[in-house]
Copies of this chain bind each other. A is one copy, B any other.
């Protein structure tokens, strides 16, 4: 028998001091070795961005019990890359986790999410990867009631793995009592009125990114938006291969243009 614990690498986009990452670590340390490498401060909305231009610094931190913690000056994806390449070196993790994010990464937010960026990066390194996000945007929210679901999902993926090129986007509704798990597709929605213009005291305009989310499939009952609104924990298997094969087949005549 092999008594070695699995190794789990965790990052997030809210920073290594966030409540969500501390809570996630606390769910896992009884059965796994956990290493955290996370941004030194918030990197929400960083998607799969990595640092082409800037150099990076990493620093050992000691803010989470039973866990080796590093902060990094870069993006969430940088954190995964530098952890695999420099911190863990020859110890390949059995699983990579992003989160728990303070905020919803369902529907099109999948594309903007630094938490999903972590999962995609892990997946592109052929390591099973999961992003966990809560629809509760309060950075002080108590997330301890996510424990059973997180542990079930993590243990299942550790035991069974995930196919090449697929990672999981897991979102928790803002509720105390979950209705169960829904495995569902990503919904479609739009961000509107995304920019707010302000006048600086010295007279020039500057702009804040903001926005209002609109569900563009209000009658659909098979997507993550519907499931979250109805109290379900959503699990959306998300692909690295973004090719639209239906469209590809329809476009074959372009080859004779």
Contacts and interface: CB of A to CB of B under 8 A. Distances in A.
Interface in A41-69: 42, 44-53, 55-58
A78 interface: yes
Contact of A244 (B52, B56, B75, B166): B166
A95 to B, nearest CB: 17
Nearest to A44: B52
Interface stretch (A1-9, A24-32, A139-147, A189-197): A189-197
Instruction: Decide if the interface of chain A is mainly helix, strand, loop or mixed.
Output: mixed
Contact of A85 (B47, B51, B194): B194
A206 B241 contact: no
Contacts of A159: none
Contacts of A78: 209
A75 B179 CA distance: 39
Contacts of A252: 183
Contact of A255 (B166, B180, B254): B180
17 contacts: A44-B52, A44-B53, A46-B49, A47-B49, A50-B112, A52-B209, A55-B206, A57-B207, A82-B195, A82-B207, A111-B242, A165-B188, A166-B244, A180-B255, A186-B241, A186-B242, A242-B242
Interface of A: 42, 44-53, 55-58, 74-75, 77-78, 81-82, 85-86, 108, 110-112, 114, 117, 120, 124-126, 152, 156, 163, 165-166, 180-186, 188, 190-191, 193-195, 197-198, 204-209, 235-245, 247-248, 251-252, 254-255, 257
7 closest cross-chain pairs (CB), A and B: A237-B247, A47-B48, A47-B47, A45-B52, A85-B195, A49-B49, A185-B243
